[in-house]
Amino acid sequence: MNILLLGYGKMGQLIGQIAESRGHTLAGKISIDNREDLQQIDPSTVDAAIEFSQPEAAVENITWCLENNIPVLSGTTGWLNEKPRLDSLTKEKNGAFFYASNYSIGVNIFFKVNEFLAKLMNETTGYQSSIEEIHHTAKLDAPSGTAITLAEGIINESSQFKDWHLTGESNGNEQSLPITSKRIDPAPGTHIIRYQSEIDDIEISHTAHSRQGFALGAVLVAEWIQGKKGVLSMNDFLSF
């Protein structure tokens, strides 16, 4: 496959290394420093684009791919208010657009465990729920996209919560799930779900030891997306 990298920071570089180790070639490495090079890319030579850039660049990058009939997968967070528009463009162009807040297989299993636990806890009383996420200081958005996905999983299974809030920015209310974000180097990513009561605490967590799992997952999806159409997610990839 010929893979276009949109975003060439630490994650993009690791994705490129893994892609090449699996026998793929790189059609281009686009970053904030050479965005003008994107216009020199021949779309017909690109089999898939992997988009791990910045929130302010993601929408333009994904739009360019869809307009040029390139299957694109994105892991950039912090821009999802624009996603409905890109979903519509995908359908209009009969293209393929895959989004995930986290490409780690382990994290996506954790998402399902989180939803199952939330369903069980919805049938109990006396527990206070919360989420804590810890990432490296270079991560610009807070809370993480993974934490938001976890919060949405709890909200969808809970009659208690209607939305979530970031602690420190809003006091929230009884129907708002609190998320605490911490930025500590060199943490690549830890997410903790807590249910606390006067009697006991229940806690599940996922800790990434490196970015390797995220990067490998993105390359595996790029391989899988060939011939696919529509708005896709990890549920489609993993057949959950």
List residues with catalytic annotation: 135, 139
> What tokens were used for 15?
């994705």
b/e burial code for range 7-20 (CB count within 10 A of at least 16 → b): bbeebbbbbbebbe
Q: Cα angle at 152 between 56 and 101, to 5 degrees?
A: 40
Q: Which residues fall within 8 angstroms of residue 101, CB to CB, at 6 or more apart?
A: 75, 77, 144, 145, 146, 148, 149
Tokens 């920071």 map to which residue? 9
Q: Using an 8 Å Cβ cutoff, are 171 and 212 in contact?
A: no
Output the CA torsion sign for 119, 123, 127, 128: positive
